[in-house]
Amino acid sequence: MKIFVATGFIFILGSLGFALFFLMRDKGRSNRTVNALALRVGLSICLFLLLLLSYKMGWITPTGLR
């Protein structure tokens, strides 16, 4: 499960990097920045839903403060 979460974060950060790259390169002449940011939001929602599902299925458990 840790691998899935880490991979999800890497994809989210990659999408954010692409959005910055397109913002600097296109100077607002295309929709690639908006598409990259929309992909980032979609990936974030999917990761959140995956964590909720994993908790409900018992694949992950809260550990509390140590």
Confidence check: pLDDT of 65 > 80: no
Measured between its terminal Cα atoms, the distance across the chain in Å is 21
Rounded to the nearest 5 percent, the helix, strand and coil shares of the chain are 75, 0, 25
Q: What is the pLDDT of residues 40-60, one digit of tens each?
A: 999 999 999 999 999 999 888
- By percentage, how much of the chain surpasses pLDDT 70? 95
Confidence check: pLDDT of 62 > 90: no
Place 9 in a pLDDT band, splitting at 50, 70 and 90.
Answer: very high
3: nearest Cα among 59, 57, 42, 62: 59
Place 66 in a pLDDT band, splitting at 50, 70 and 90.
Answer: low
